[in-house]
Amino acid sequence: MLVVSFLVRLICRINLILGNIFSWFSLGIVLTCFTVVVLRYFFSTGYVWMQDLYVWLNGMMFMGIAGFTLMQNGHVRVDIFYRPANARRKAIIDMIGCIVFVTPFLYIVTTYGLPYVQRSWRFMEGSSNFGGMPGLYIVKSFILVFVGVVALQAIAMVMRSVLILSGREDLVPEHYRYKEGG
C-alpha cells in the first residue's frame, strides 16, 4: 500500500507542476489578445500570427491543465449523490467513474486523435491562415498531452479509492483526501 500511496503522490505532484506551468499561458493569452486589439483599433494593423498565438496558447493551456483540474475536482459533476456521500461511497463512485466513463473516453480520444496528430507531424503542419504561425503540429500534439495527464490522474483516483476502501485513508495525501460535504 505504500507503493500505491507513493504513486498517488507522484501523479498528483506531476499534475500540480503541469497545472502551475500551463496556467501561466493565461497571462500570455491576455497579453497577446490585448496587443492584437490595441494594434487593430489604435494602429489599424494586425498580425495573423499573433491571432494564431493566443488561440493556440488557449488550446494548449486547457489541454495541459486537464489532469490538474480533475485532481482539484474542477470538472463538471452531477453531485446530488456525491456531495453528501461519505469517503467510502465517494471512492466507489470515483473508481466506477474512472473505469466506466474516463477510460473509454480516453480510448476514443486516443484512437481518433493519434492519426490526426501523426498526420500533422508528417506534414509539419502550420497555420491554414496566410501569414500564420508554423508549428500547428505541436499544438495538435496537446491532444495526446490531454490524454496523458487525464489518464494519469484517473489512475491516481482509482489508487486513492483503493487506499480508502482498504481502510488506509491515512496514506492518501492530505490535499487529496475527500472533504466533508464537498
Q: Global pTM?
A: 0.90
Residue spans of the domains in the chain: they are: 1-176
43: cell is 494602429
Q: How far apart are CA 118 and CA 128, in angstroms?
A: 17
Q: How far apart are CA 112 and CA 95, in angstroms?
A: 25
Nearest 5°: phi and psi at 117? -70, -45
Predicted pLDDT of residue 172:
86
DSSP type of residue 101 = I
Rg (CA), the chain: 20
Predicted pLDDT of residue 182:
52
pLDDT along the chain (182 residues), means of 10: 91 95 96 96 94 94 95 79 86 94 97 97 93 93 97 96 91 83 55
Q: How far is CA 132 from CA 52, 82, 102, 167, 168, in A?
A: 6, 46, 35, 55, 53
Q: Which residue, among 177, 176, 172, has the nearest Cα to 6 in the 3D structure?
A: 172
Predicted pLDDT of residue 175:
82
Predicted pLDDT of residue 1:
83
